[in-house]
Amino acid sequence: MAAKLPPFEPTPLEDIPAISGRIRRGFLTHKTRPIEFRTAQLRKLYWALKDNEDLIIEACKRDLGKPTFETYLSELYWCMNDIVFMQKNLSRWAKEEKAENISFSNKLMGPRIRKDPMGAVLVIGAFNFPIQLSFGPLIGAISAGCTAVLKPSEGAPHCAAVMQKILAESLDPEFYAIVQGAVPETSALLDQKWDKIFYTGSANVGTIIAKKAAETLTPIALELGGRNPSFVTKNADPKLAARRLLWGKTFNAGQVCVSQNYTLVDKEMLQPLVKELGEQLKQFYPQGARNSPDYGRIVNQRQFQRLKKMLDESKGKIVVGGTLDEADLFIEPTVVLVDSMDDSLIKDESFGPFLTLLPVNDLDEAIRIANEVHATPLGLYPFGSKAEMEKVLSQTRSGGATLNDGFFHATIPTLEFGGVGDSGQGAYRGKASFDVFTHRRSIVTMPTWIEALLNMRYPPFTEKKLKQ
Ligand code: NAD
């Protein structure tokens, strides 16, 4: 029997100032600063995640048709592992650091960096990995000693409601709160004072957040979308490239910010790659993706219609897949051969299960196109010889990259993750999750007895002082 999910209820707008005020006052009690307090909260969150395992699985199924395996991998165990890693390392990271390479006299002043919490922070999540993208940054905020309000995505309402239950069962309400809702509620939150805003979502909304934060000079971290390129050269292994590119576009039905948006394929490799994409897809889903419990669904009608329009407007040729079912929010993994970088499937981030292939003459052309389409994507994925992959790295920019696979770099828990340029700013995961919510506060303690040594800094600046 399916687990009974709690209801999703938007937070009344009039309650939002009081909630943010409570969380700000909570910070000023200084109770969240001791490491013991932070680790105790993290431990409670860990067990509440574990206790609500069935609800998380059910909520991810209802919101995104997420296979249980993917929920374990990218939501539940992802967050639980992050907590364990934080717990293991927190005391070490939170320790003060001494200033390096200083003179003997400066040493006497004990110059050092304290690791202070930023303060009361706002975390805004996206829908595609609803638990991971909300609790992930929250774990960083708790670890750094911040108080926090979490605003999960209304696009995954069942997950948002389960997170509310988990938060209520585990975290101290004086210091951590959840606000539910969409644009009005998020806008009301942005009208409050924050010491940092951590936002994950589209670049359009990222711009709104950045503008609003600029009014009060509030620091921000932005984890945005990407039109990520992949490259398949004539020296790549077509079967391996096909399997790995398919993984990058079938996981979460392609609703992954770091998955490749388009693939630049050497003309010589096109036919072998298309053939392998078709064959490997059959191996993934022998009864077809539609009948497989291992393939998810598009999150809602709005996203489904956006993707359908994108495919309808494409001038490309569908060479594998192409079935859509509106009632079931199903879009088959679909390989499309396009001949222009202006194609609707390349121009915008698809954020769905389209594998768009654009044939190119050689790697130089591929690199030029990638730099023209979007110079600073979130991720980048070359397949080819070692030298070719290094060449791609040295002639492009991106938030991160995986050589010879889809978005694997984003799955390494201790590797910091973030964008560059218009794909985002500020990284997190591993130690970076602690750092992004931490202020490195420079401190010097001047001994009283040192006055005799420092007397020369005071006017009058006599001839004698100049000569010293
Ligand atoms: P979205 O921008 O629509 O929504 C994200 C959050 O912003 C939600 O919580 C939503 O309530 C809020 N929001 C929406 N409109 C708003 C407005 N006008 N004012 C204030 N707040 C508003 O994004 P999404 O559809 O949930 O996610 C898809 C996008 O997110 C894609 O572009 C994807 O690439 C990106 N993404 C990036 C990362 C990353 O880590 N870099 C991860 C996941 C998704």
Q: Is 60 assigned a catalytic role?
A: no
For helices 130-144 and 53-64, what crossing angle results, to 10°?
A: 130
- Residue 378 CA: nearest ligand 1 atom is 41
Supply the pLDDT for residue 226.
76
Q: Could you please state the CATH topology (level 3) that the domain comprising 229-412 is classified under.
A: Aldehyde Dehydrogenase; Chain A, domain 2 (3.40.309)
CA 125 to ligand 1 center in whole angstroms: 7
ipTM above 0.90, yes or no: yes
Q: Whose CA is nearest to atom 42 of ligand 1?
A: 257
Q: Which amino acid is at 418?
A: G
Domain boundaries, the chain: 14-224, 229-412
| Whole-number Å distance between alpha carbons of 223 and 206 | 8
Cβ of residue 186 lying under 6 Å from some atom of ligand 1: yes
State the CB neighbour count (10 A cutoff) for residue 289: 21
Task: Give the rounded distance of the alpha carbon of 122 from its chain centre.
Answer: 15
- Check 58, 70, 75, 223 and give the catalytic one: 223
The half-sphere exposure of 429 on its side-chain side, counting CA atoms within 13 A, is 17
Strands 354-360 and 220-223: unpaired
Task: Give the rounded distance of the alpha carbon of 250 from its chain centre.
Answer: 18
Instruction: Record the tokens describing residue 165, joined without a space.
Output: 């239950």
Contact (CB, 8 A) for 260 and 228: yes
Q: Could you please state the CATH topology (level 3) that the domain comprising 14-224 is classified under.
A: Aldehyde Dehydrogenase; Chain A, domain 1 (3.40.605)
Residue 438: beta bridge partners? Answer: 117
Q: Whose CA is nearest to atom 36 of ligand 1?
A: 201
CA 199 to ligand 1 center in whole angstroms: 8
Cβ of residue 201 lying under 6 Å from some atom of ligand 1: yes
Q: Which H or E run contains 427?
A: none
Cβ of residue 410 lying under 6 Å from some atom of ligand 1: no
27-33 CB contacts, 8 Å cutoff, 24+ apart: 27/117, 27/119, 27/120, 27/146, 27/147, 27/175, 27/195, 29/174, 31/174, 31/175, 32/117, 32/142, 32/145, 32/146, 32/147, 32/175, 33/117, 33/145
Q: Whose CA is nearest to atom 40 of ligand 1?
A: 223
Supply the pLDDT for residue 225.
86
State the CB neighbour count (10 A cutoff) for residue 57: 20
Q: If DSSP codes are grouped into helix, strand and coil, which group holds residue 249?
A: helix
Which of 186, 302, 306 is the pocket-test mutation for ligand 1 (most atoms within 8 Å of CB)?
A: 186
Supply the pLDDT for residue 1.
63
Cβ of residue 169 lying under 6 Å from some atom of ligand 1: no
Which of 180, 205, 300 is the pocket-test mutation for ligand 1 (most atoms within 8 Å of CB)?
A: 205
Supply the pLDDT for residue 468.
75
State the CB neighbour count (10 A cutoff) for residue 299: 23
Measured CA to CA in angstroms, residue 442 lies from 48, 439, 445, 467 at distances of 37, 9, 10, 32
State the CB neighbour count (10 A cutoff) for residue 1: 3
Mean pLDDT for each 10-residue chunk of the chain (468 residues)? 89 98 98 98 98 98 98 98 97 96 91 98 98 98 98 98 98 98 98 98 97 98 94 98 98 98 98 98 98 98 98 98 98 97 95 98 98 95 98 98 98 96 97 98 95 90 86
Nearest Cα to 225, choosing from 376, 96, 442?
376
Cβ of residue 155 lying under 6 Å from some atom of ligand 1: yes
State the CB neighbour count (10 A cutoff) for residue 390: 13
Q: How many helices (H) and strands (E) does the chain have?
A: 19, 17
First to last CA, the chain: 85
Cβ of residue 223 lying under 6 Å from some atom of ligand 1: yes
| Whole-number Å distance between alpha carbons of 280 and 243 | 6
| Whole-number Å distance between alpha carbons of 192 and 10 | 18
Nearest Cα to 334, choosing from 298, 360, 361?
298
